[in-house]
Structure 1
Amino acid sequence: MPKYLFEARYTAEGAKGIEKEGGVSRREAVLKHLAQIGGKLEAMYFAFGDVDCYSIVELPDNVSAAALSLVVNESGTIATKAVVLLTPEELDEAVHKKIKFRAPGH
């Protein structure tokens, strides 16, 4: 199943929700949301800096990842960014796909 790294940035309202409900409660909510679309949580960490939370999740496909991203962003309390993660084997497969590429201006 494909893996994705979700970066979450909380708005002021979202941060107040975390303060009120706590990190464990947020993880439980994420688990429930993922279960609705056939996904699994591999890891979830809160962080300092410009990203408030990192989650590595397994989802059935890109459509499920897009659906999750849309519904989270629509809440107005969290802005997310999703990154598709590749295994070393998938990268090897990509390296062996030959594509004729012409750079701009060449």
Structure 2
Amino acid sequence: MYFAFGDDDVVMIVDFPDSVSMAAVSLTVKASGTVRTRATPLLTVEEIDEAARREVTFRAAGA
């Protein structure tokens, strides 16, 4: 946990077993109304490499 100046008072790096677990905690904390949170998923180099190898079908709007 780090304290910060600016828009965010505290920055925490937490490790959850999966994205659904993180979403569950985030929803519960936000529902309390006492804390505003923002989650930024961090990806490993291996995860980015895997994403780069995946083929994605995409058509831009108007194309």
TM-score by length of 1: 0.55
TM-score (norm 2): 0.88
Hey, what's the Cα distance between the residues in 1 that align with 2:56 and 2:10? 36
Q: Give the unaligned 5+ runs of structure 1.
A: 1-43
Where is the strand percentage greater, Structure 1 or Structure 2?
A: 1
CA distance in 2, matches of 1:65, 1:104: 32
Whether 2:2 is the aligned partner of 1:54: answer no
Q: Number of matched residues?
A: 63
Q: Distance in 1 between matches of 2:20 and 2:58?
A: 28
Question: Aligned partners of 2:25 and 2:19: how far apart in 1?
Answer: 10
* Higher RCO structure, 1 or 2 (CA under 8 Å, sep 6+): 1
Cα RMSD for the two superposed structures:
1.1
| Runs of 4+ displaced beyond 4 Å | none
1:66 has 2:23 as partner: yes
Q: Taking every aligned residue pair, what percent have the same amino acid on both sides? A: 57
Partner residue in 2 for 1:99: 56
Identify unmatched segments of 5+ residues in structure 2: none
- Residue 38 of structure 2, aligned match among 61, 66, 81: 81
